[in-house]
Amino acid sequence: MKKTIALIAHDGKKPEMVAFVKDHQELLERANIIATGTTGSYVRQTGLPVELKLSGPMGGDAQIAALAAERKVDGIIFFRDPLGKHAHEPDIQMLMRVCDLYNVPLATNPATGSLIIEGLLEDVES
């Protein structure tokens, strides 16, 4: 079955997420990609099909956390802005807690993101 990867980036990190996706596009094409709303619309600019969830502040992080709890996500790449303050901080913390609870791989920077993408998708047929 195809792996599902979730992509999430705070505003200050969206350019970094698009660059990350371009760097890993060939591997990501082997997966189902889901993303929080605004991140997903940026990622779609690469041509990769992306299923959009709600925007993060409107519940998108919570939707992805729920999928992680249901074991419907194989890995999450979440580039957080370490300098930003967010009204939906409880949702962000909840997503990270759920990943730890269910042992879902979660990367918060490109170096770890690469390891997750390679680990999950390198052996998958394209």
Ligand X SMILES: O=C(CO)COP(=O)(O)O
- Phi first, then psi, for residue 67 (nearest 5°) are -65, -35
Answer yes or no: are the C-beta atoms of 21 and 41 closer than 8 Å.
no
Residue 36 annotated as part of some ligand binding site: yes
Total chain residues near ligand X (CB under 6 A): 12
Q: In what order do the strands lie in the sheet with 106-107?
A: 51-52, 32-35, 4-9, 75-79, 106-107
**Which candidate in 23, 61, 91, 100 is catalytic?**
61
Is 23 one of the catalytic residues? no
Closest to 50 in 3D by CA, of 20, 68, 29: 29
- Contact between 63 and ligand X by CB under 6 A: the answer reads no
Contact 28, 97 (CB under 8 A): no
Residue 55 is a binding residue for ligand X (CB under 6 A)? yes
Tell the smallest beta-carbon distance from residue 37 to ligand X (Å).
4
Window contacting ligand X (CB under 6 A); options: 21-29, 30-38, 66-74, 103-111: 30-38
Query: Does 86 belong to an annotated binding site?
Result: no
**Is residue 110 a contact residue for ligand X (CB under 6 A)?**
no
Q: Which spans of this chain sit near ligand X (rule: CB under 6 A)?
A: 8, 10, 36-39, 55-57, 60-61, 92
